[in-house]
Amino acid sequence: MQTILLSSYSNGLGYSNLKAFGAFVIVMVLLLICLKILQKLNASKKSAAGTVIYSASAGPNRSIEHIQTADKVHVIYKNDGAMVVLESVAIADYKKPDVSSTGKSSIKKLFARS
């Protein structure tokens, strides 16, 4: 005669499987709560961001952008994997570039010193 312990044998969805599933659900709920908290914290920090005033293409995956922050305007050259600050000017001294023509001549005007 063979004796089988019921605690070590389960048909289908046993007690240990229910515990594992319950733990999984609890972890997922906690992750969702943390995600919501992080989204609310991130939404309150938008005041530090700058706004793009002007953008010009300088070729494939390259551009020159004028970005305004709280007290300055930064002229930034962006390419594939880098950003270089070309110039930082106070808002009072900033002049928007004259880009009446298109192509290389307008890019040269951006780099022209006055």
Bridge partners (DSSP) of residue 79 are: none
54-110 tens-digit pLDDT: 888 888 888 888 888 878 888 888 888 888 888 888 888 887 777 665 555 555 656
Domain limits for position 57: 50-94+104-111
Does residue 16 lie in a domain region? no
Is 60 inside a domain boundary?
Answer: yes
| Tally of structural domains, the chain | 1
Neighbours of 48 (CB within 10 A): 7
Beta strand 72-78 with 63-68: parallel, antiparallel or unpaired? antiparallel
Query: What's the pLDDT at 71?
Result: 84
Q: Is 73 strand, coil or helix?
A: strand
Over range 24-38, report the average pLDDT.
95
Has residue 90 been placed in a domain?
Answer: yes
Q: What is the DSSP letter of 61?
A: T
Whether 28 maps to a domain, the answer reads: no
In a domain, 72, yes or no: yes
Q: Does 20 reside within a domain? A: no
73 CB neighbour count, 10 Å cutoff? 21
The answer to the question of residue 63 being in a domain is yes
**pTM of full prediction above 0.75:** no
- 12: tokens are 């289908």
